[in-house]
Structure 1
Amino acid sequence: MSKKKQKSIEELLEEALVPEEEQPYSLPENWVWVRLKSINKDKKRGSSPNFVI
């Protein structure tokens, strides 16, 4: 069995941040541009929880 190598925090951050030249406009000082896919990895489209009443 092969295991996927887990990425370091630095690698994940580098993937998530949008490079300065790709940022459409500046943000407040304590905000950053991130790629949506980096914060939405575990979400499944169209799924909803099943409730039993």
Structure 2
Amino acid sequence: MTMTIGILTENVGVVGRFLACQLGIEYINTQPLINARPFKVAIAGSSHV
């Protein structure tokens, strides 16, 4: 599953927002270049729980 998450985080956008919703993370994809990093950090933190 970690591999799948790693792949999905590369595609920040519709897939990113969908994944964020699945994890219950509030992610607003208004500025992808800025939001991409914190989004990946959130995913990393969630995957290690």
Q: Same fold (TM over 0.5)?
A: no
Report the TM-score range of the alignment, normalised by the length of the smaller protein.
under 0.3
Task: Compute the TM-score of the two structures, normalised by the length of structure 2.
Answer: 0.26
Task: Compute the TM-score of the two structures, normalised by the length of structure 1.
Answer: 0.25
Structure with the larger helix share:
2
